[in-house]
Amino acid sequence: MLKISLPEDVKFIMKVIAQAGFEAYAVGGCVRDSILGREPEDWDIATSAAPYQVKALFHRTIDTGIRHGTVTVMLHRTGYEVTTYRIDGEYLDGRHPESVRFVSSLEEDLRRRDFTINAMAYNDSRGLVDLFGGRRDLEQGLVRCVGNAKDRFEEDALRILRAVRFSAQLGYQIHPFTRDAMRSLAPNLKKVSMERIQMEFMKLLLSPHPEYLEQMYELGLTAQFLPEFDVMMETEQNNPHHCYTVGVHTVRVVQAVPGDRVLRLAALFHDIGKPACRWAGEDHVDHFAGHAQVGSDMTEQIMRRMKFDNDTIRQVCCLVLYHDMGNDVSITPEFVRFLMRDVGVELYPKLMVLKDADVAAQSDYQAEEKRENHRRLRQYYEEALERGYCINLKGLAVKGRDLIDAGMQPGTQLGEALEKLLDEVLSHPEWNEKRTLLGKLKEWGYL
Ligand code: ATP
Ligand code: MG
């Protein structure tokens, strides 16, 4: 009999519930991950006890989703979700279950789950409960719906995205019947809320196999919520710098950056402006002038539509806007200081990672020159930090207060004066002294 080693807290919760005369099992993701020898992120417990009965058995509980049968039991500062056996009611809108119905058997609860690998349960007395061949699918590396795939996706279209997400996290194939149903029901994704789509999409993007984006495109999934990606997949680039379509190049860049939220998103969107900016020169070579600016604007629009938070949007748009900077100019320390001001000192290292990945996914044409440029972009950045050069208003030797003391009025003019001083200091770091800067303001007629 398969034995899963349960954490002490989980054993305790299951024992308390069993002693009260109810059933309790570990279910879902934690069983799947344990069989795979991976550390589960959290342990979910399914029980025959009703929520009020669970609450009566433990000191500290939280009503997490009491209407859906979930009570969180707190032990040693960790929360364990304990959920009453249930099935989802009708999914009238293919989006939210209209209601949930509590049921009396574990079997019924397992049947409503999405994939065979997610529909197993375990406790020490009964061992593994695997009604749908989840263990076999784990061995074969298969994502397969519980029961009839079309029915399951009609109930909740988000499961279509979850199938690709799990296959990308685990490096699995999707069963052909499940794939066929995904393709034909893809349009139902339009009914799913962007918040839920974004969560699954990010898990895929941050997985070890972000290149499964191409599968999402082939199955017609991105067309439903990110049609701009489809356009990239269908845009050739006839240009010596490139050896792939915009879309395939993009996927290579996404693969080449580490699994960081901002970096993976910036990689995904860095060339999103290219299709709109493409024009063929007389030489039959495609050019994409202005694609970074257009791309940054498009990225903002897309990310708002996809309900990303403001800070993530700001960082990603900034990286998209500057990803192409420094390719056709000679890189000087001064150029780098201005770039540091524009990008921000914190975000600058990510810009460098993105630029490296971008070049690695291009052709070999001028690759050596590009790498030399990146080496300088890094070196001068580090030198500016080591020497403590002023890069932003915080580092300027005069503050707004000093200008007011010298006789200026608070207001837009004062802000403008500070920005002008910063420009001067970025060009001439040695001028960053109060006396010199106040002298400049006199010279310009501000004082
Ligand atoms: P992760 O490690 O990413 O949390 P997980 O398998 O725990 O993976 P969750 O989204 O936390 O995934 O869901 C927990 C369990 O609930 C799943 O294993 C699955 O059995 C079930 N489940 C979750 N969402 C759905 C859904 N939309 N349709 C059917 N079953 C679902
Ligand atoms: Mg989970």
Tens digits of per-residue pLDDT, 167-209? Answer: 999 999 999 999 999 999 999 999 999 999 999 999 999 999 9
CA 285 to CA 38: how far, in whole Å? 49
Q: Is 158 in the pocket of ligand 1 (CB under 6 A)?
A: yes
What pLDDT digit, counting tens, does each position of 368-389 carry? Answer: 888 899 999 999 999 999 999 9
Residue 106 CA: distances (Å) to CA of 28, 145, 299, 333: 12, 18, 45, 66
Q: Establish whether residue 161 lines the binding site of ligand 1, counting it when its CB lies within 6 angstroms of any ligand atom.
A: no
CA 40 to ligand 1: nearest atom: 2
**Is the distance from the beta carbon of residue 155 to the nearest atom of ligand 1 less than 6 Å?**
no
Cα distance between residue 104 and residue 125, in whole Å:
19
pLDDT digits (tens, 9 = 90+) for 361-371: 887 878 888 88
Atom of ligand 1 nearest to the CA of 32: 6
Query: Of all atoms in ligand 1, which is nearest to the CA of residue 165?
Result: 3
N- to C-terminal Cα separation, the chain:
85
How far apart are the CA of 55 and the centre of ligand 1, in A? Answer: 23
pLDDT, tens only, 84-131: 999 876 555 555 666 788 998 999 999 999 999 999 999 999 999 999
How far, in Å, is the centroid of ligand 1 from the Cα of 395?
49
The pLDDT of residue 240: 78
Whether ligand 1 lies within 6 angstroms of the CB of 83 is answered as no
pLDDT of residue 285: 77
Nearest atom in ligand 1 to the alpha carbon of residue 41 is: 2
- What's the mean per-residue pLDDT of the chain? 94
pLDDT bin (cut points 50, 70, 90) of residue 283 is confident
Does 244 have pLDDT greater than 70?
A: yes
What's the average model confidence in pLDDT over 263-287?
Answer: 87
- Per-residue exposure over 402-430, b if at least 16 CB sit within 10 Å of its own CB, e if not: bbeeeebeeeeeeeebbeebbebbbeebe
In this predicted structure, the answer to whether residue 330 has a pLDDT above a threshold of 90 is: no
Model confidence pTM above 0.75: yes
**Which ligand 1 atom sits closest to the C-alpha of 169?**
3
42 Cα to the center of ligand 2, angstroms? 6
Question: Does residue 29 line the site of ligand 1, with CB under 6 A?
Answer: yes
Q: Whose CA is nearest to atom 15 of ligand 1?
A: 28
Residue having the nearest C-alpha atom to atom 10 of ligand 1:
29
* CB of 159 shorter than 6 A to ligand 1: yes
Ligand 1 lined by 114 (C-beta under 6 Å): yes
Q: Distance, CA 93 to ligand 1 centroid (Å)? A: 20
Task: Considering every ligand atom shown, identify the ligand nearest to the alpha carbon of residue 33 and give its number.
Answer: 1
pLDDT score of 389: 97
CB-CB contact of 160 with 153 (8 Å): yes
Lowest mean pLDDT among 142-151, 200-209, 250-259, 283-292: 283-292
